[in-house]
Amino acid sequence: MSESPIVLVQRPPTFDFMDELLGRNFPILTTHHTSSVPLLNSLSRHASSIRAVVNMGMLKIDADLLSHLPSLQLLVCTSVGTDHIDLSECKRRGISVANAGEAFSEDVADCAVGLLISLLRQIPAADRYVRSGKWAKSGEFQLGIKLSGKRVGILGLGTIGSLIAKRLDPFGCIISYNSTSQKQSIPYLYYPDVLSLAANNDVIVLCCALNDQTRHIVNREVMESLGKNGFIINVGRGGLIDEEELVKCLVDGVIGGAGLDVFEKEPRIPTELFGLDNVVLSPHAAMATPESLDNIAQLALANLKAFFSNQPLISPVRLD
């Protein structure tokens, strides 16, 4: 009987929800390091024996790190996005890659709608207003903005984008989208570029992948097209927006507001955002529910079992 493959689980210190499940099926090593040098130092003699990595902490997987893991065959990401993975190097080395698939799509879609309602109705700002005693001292809170009937443009109509659209339909929102290509079976209006999407909507929701083509796809020109009564929701990746220009546009009133779950240099966030009532902030937690974490753990295990049984991966990432 062949020896069970060693699996390295890279995770934040408190994210131990997967350890027991994986440990019952594979010998595992865990590490909390988020950069390659201390990670490799901590592994010492085990690095050459690791055949699979489960990456939960957005560890950057580059050519240098891969060169120190000569036996690596499989990389399992617990995110949908793979912008932190050198996919070309994985392909060159024959390393298979799996991602989170649809494990947390519903929860991210829920969060996107929650951010939008919170932003338009100013729920966090209203909460602060009450807690600070200003309601009793200064009177009624400012008016919010109605969601029903709003024109909402979705940037990236994949699984998450489609679920967001499905949730906004009952509000009577008018949905349109921009994606890598027009989807013939979709009834929503398609815009061929993000500028026209922004110009013809009250809200744009970002849920596309981050890559060389989409980095800073929402720049100042897009925000100016969206306008002073327009709003941005980002549950994709922080790098989809030119964050420096976003801060300027929020402070100067170029756009109406933003609901942000992701940022360019997490966990560092521009301090200018902290004092703005037209911003709702979330710590990259759109998928953070017990149900999603259980789905991710089960999917990671299923991918590991499939791969080491010479079966197709459950949620493979295309490397070409």
Per-residue model confidence as pLDDT tens digits over 215-245: 999 999 999 999 999 999 999 999 999 999 9
216: alpha, beta or left? (left if phi > 0; alpha if psi -120 to 50): left
CATH pick for 6-103+290-307 out of 1.10.10.10, 1.10.3720.10, 3.40.50.300, 3.40.50.720: 3.40.50.720
* Antiparallel, parallel or unpaired: β 231-234 and 174-178: unpaired
Tell me: pLDDT of 261 over 60: yes
Q: Do domains 6-103+290-307 and 105-281 have the same CATH topology?
A: yes
Per-residue model confidence as pLDDT tens digits over 132-163: 999 999 999 999 999 999 999 999 999 999 99
Q: What is the pLDDT of residue 204?
A: 98
Tell me: pLDDT of 1 over 50: no
pTM of the entire structure? 0.91
User: Within 13 Å of residue 264, how many CA atoms lie on the same side as its CB?
Assistant: 14
Domain 105-281 has CATH 3.60.10.10: no
Q: What is the pLDDT of residue 34?
A: 67
Task: Give the separation between CA 58 and CA 319, rounded to whole angstroms.
Answer: 18
Go through 224-262 and write b for each residue having 16 or more CB atoms within 10 A of its CB, e for each that does not: bbbeeebbbbbbbbbbbbbbebbbebbeeebbbbbbbbb
171: which DSSP letter? G
- Provide the H-helix boundaries in the chain: 19-23, 36-43, 63-67, 87-93, 105-120, 123-131, 134-138, 159-168, 194-199, 220-226, 243-252, 290-307
pLDDT class of 275 with cuts at 50, 70, 90: very high
Per-residue model confidence as pLDDT tens digits over 26-66: 999 988 876 667 777 777 778 888 999 999 877 889 999 99
Positions annotated as catalytic residues are 237, 266, 284
The structural domains of the chain, with segments of one domain joined by +, span: 6-103+290-307, 105-281
Q: Write down the mean pLDDT value for the chain.
A: 93
Q: What is the mean pLDDT of residues 258-274?
A: 96
At 91, is the secondary structure helix, strand, or coil?
Answer: helix
Q: How far is CA 103 from CA 165, 211, 299, in A?
A: 18, 21, 7
Residue 50 makes CB contacts below 8 A (sequence gap 6+) with 6, 7, 8, 29, 43, 69, 71, 72
Per-residue model confidence as pLDDT tens digits over 183-226: 988 999 999 999 999 999 999 999 999 999 999 999 999 999 99
Q: What is the pLDDT of residue 50?
A: 93
- The contacts found for 224-228 with CB under 8 angstroms, 24 or more apart, are 224/249, 224/254, 225/195, 225/198, 225/199, 226/198, 226/199, 226/201, 226/255, 227/254, 227/255, 227/256, 228/253, 228/254, 228/255, 228/256
Tell me: pLDDT of 6 over 80: yes
Gyration radius of the chain's alpha carbons: 21
